A and B are shown apart, each in its own frame.
Chain A
């Protein structure tokens, strides 16, 4: 494999692995706050035991998120050096602010969460937990501002003198609609993961007839929080759809497997089989009007298809080739007036010139076939997006149904009546992770062939290093991550098996030193 595929493989593997831990951290942190608020306001020790038990699992998961997160930040420099130089001015800032504002907060206070029980008052400890949850959520905000900029690069311009993107309006980068939608959608997805985690483990406890008091209370909290989050994740995902349709029409068309523009309002394809070689989606089952409503929130605006978008992009590649050629002249002769005029006229399409550069080294004399090849390269893998999106949405609807049912049963105190539903809940444990990874796939595979949409192609973003370096580092990470995964799962399962009982035992011992405690069960 070449350096580009290997670098993408490494980024994909490490990012998806990192994202196994992050959503659970996001969700559990908020759930811990909710449980601890109940403890502080009601003063019932069982709620403290719940915070401690779920906190143990939170801690095991948290360290994996931290360990894999450093890899992500450093990987931009190691494997994507040209990207780092080209967009560091814009993209680096949110990452740095994430560290200063959010990660310091969560990492400093997470130690106090575990070590502070004896040293802090109740309210102080609750404040610590709130700070951890605030830190994790702010962290997600800044990371998604950075990612949102890759999807929809606003507030920045290309600078010829430094050959890089420069910030022109930082508030536009912060207020990027793409980033805002992504943030709420991703965070809500994390809350669903946390809720399902608590629900599934509690369901297992109930099926085993263990830790009933804690399991029932945990299920009640998680079902209500999960229902709200799953409703949010679907409606906010819908808002995200409108933004994508506006800013990344090619991604939208690929998600829909929609090759030509349909008269408004377009139908939503429920099932179909996209065929990227014949430009057709076969065996379609459609729902009239729905796509037009989802993508444009109107009945009269058309949603453009893939083929017309490729035609548009072909024009942009031609224009980009002129910008690129002028840029090469200007690099050696900065005062060349005709080149400057050409560059200014075609500057907005420079990214498409870079894309042509990935097809042919001689951009100035590109053949029509090469230009067409570059235009077709703007189509992401249609079937991957089509299916990832549909499975994600189906799972989202399933979560609403399951959390809704559990919420109803929790309200009417009948959670234990339907054992089959407890089994369903237990076996649903991996599903929100699958949905989250599918969502990541839709967002990031859908961005291809760009690292920064319309600005910098993925193929140009890599470091100029031997491909074998990347292959070796992939091997290193796969080995280390697999070993850690085994250890992590072992400790998770062991802690769950020991159950909250272990925590009770510790607390009972403390009663001799004066801590007021009632037996919880």
Chain B
């Protein structure tokens, strides 16, 4: 193994860590925003649900911004192809995300029911659309996306918006929505009491069941899809030139990694086992924190499954398989990867430390009585 190869693998893993960080941390507030109209029957109850995530969702969303920034710095070609290729999906995501800060912040400012119902709807859309788009994006990455490069490595993309929302991608979108509903419900159950917690547990149970079924269906379907196989390439430590290799389409190749390295089956197994644990434990009111951990592990397992199934591919090309983006040919230069690793090693623990402090300060359940007492500070 040469140094460049090691750094590329580290950054492949860190990309996964950031995507999982986004799904686990921002995922529960997307889920909570979707669940608020279901779990909260009255305005005060909805405010309880929104206030479980109110003080923290803004920090959580930074995982998306950091994920985007890290992809830009460590995998510039992936960033360029994915963002310009998924153009309208990204536009949809951005417009939905814009609803969130204003929804959380502005909803509570005026008590008129019409105003509040409007922002309830906006927050629901702001939770649902990103959850769906993230899943749809993964569904397209697994199948390959139609793009290629010219001699200056300028990308052309021939796909359409409707092509993005194909049946398999939609299934992945639904997996994403179901798992984030489950995860959001687990979080709300931790942070509330009484009837709101009971409703969150019910919602979490059913979305957990749906997650397991859809994820299993997705696995069966994926094993019948065309996958991609690298026939030859310039080497794991060669400069990042995406056009210097030969890749072919092979039916069922998405399962090939499980044949060569059977131990990676532990990743989907973690997803299944933790999803089962989540729906079983949701009823146990003594240790609500454990459910949040198992649902988080489910989320990590599902995203990790996509990652290990694709490796070494980051983004296969269905138009010209040899233009696919590999871990070995679409990273930044070694120096950039090294600098970025130093920055991450320094700042990630600091981020985890102060984020933990914030959650510790905010410990304890959010209650209707508490919300009504803090009428002018709470959302």
Contact = CB atoms under 8 A, between A and B. Distances in A.
Contact of A77 (B79, B153, B354): B79
A397 interface: no
B280 interface: no
Contact of B354 (A98, A108, A487): A108
B343 A96 contact: yes
B241 A74 contact: no
B91 A473 contact: yes
B195 interface: no
A287 interface: no
Nearest to B73: A92
B70 A96 contact: yes
Contacts of A495: 109
A12 B56 CA distance: 31
B336 interface: yes
A77 B84 contact: yes
B374 A118 contact: yes
A225 interface: no
Interface string B66-102: 1011111110110111111001101100110110111
A471 to B, nearest CB: 12
A435 B61 CA distance: 31
A88 B73 contact: yes
A173 to B, nearest CB: 9
A399 to B, nearest CB: 30
A297 B106 CA distance: 50
A159 interface: yes
A109 B350 CA distance: 13
Given A67-B101, A81-B80, A108-B354, A98 B69 contact: yes
A197 B161 CA distance: 43
Contacts of A119: 361-362
Given A81-B81, A99-B62, A111-B59, A161 B241 contact: yes
Given A92-B79, A111-B56, A166 B333 contact: yes
Interface stretch (A58-66, A179-187, A307-315, A338-346): A58-66
B339 A170 contact: yes
Contact of A469 (B66, B81, B88): B88
B94 A74 contact: yes
Contacts of B87: 78, 463, 465, 469, 473
A517 to B, nearest CB: 15
Interface in B319-371: 332-333, 335-336, 339-340, 343-344, 347-348, 351, 354-355, 358, 361-362
A168 B338 CA distance: 12
A520 interface: no
Instruction: Sort chain A's interface into a size bin.
Output: 35 or more
A162 B348 CA distance: 30
A99 B62 CA distance: 7
Interface in A67-96: 67-71, 73-74, 76-79, 81-82, 84-85, 87-93, 95-96
Nearest to A60: B105
Nearest to B336: A89
A115 interface: yes
B151 A97 contact: no
A85 B358 contact: no
B80 A107 contact: no
A97 B378 CA distance: 32
Interface in A321-336: 328, 331-332
A19 interface: no
A103 B336 contact: no
A101 B347 contact: yes
A270 to B, nearest CB: 43
B69 A92 contact: yes
A342 to B, nearest CB: 18
B74 A92 contact: yes
A284 interface: no
B239 interface: yes
Contacts of A105: 354
B69 A112 contact: no
A104 B348 CA distance: 10
B281 to A, nearest CB: 28
Nearest to B51: A115
A104 B91 contact: no
Nearest to A112: B358
Contacts of B156: 464
23 contacts: A63-B104, A67-B97, A67-B101, A81-B84, A84-B80, A92-B73, A92-B79, A92-B332, A92-B336, A93-B73, A93-B336, A95-B73, A96-B73, A97-B343, A99-B70, A100-B66, A100-B69, A108-B358, A164-B76, A463-B155, A464-B156, A473-B88, A506-B376
Interchain residue pairs A-B with the least CB separation, the first 3: A88-B76, A77-B83, A92-B73
Interface of A: 59-60, 63-64, 66-71, 73-74, 76-79, 81-82, 84-85, 87-93, 95-101, 103-105, 107-112, 114-120, 131, 159, 161-164, 166-168, 170, 328, 331-332, 463-465, 469, 472-473, 476-477, 480, 484, 487-488, 491, 494-495, 502-503, 506
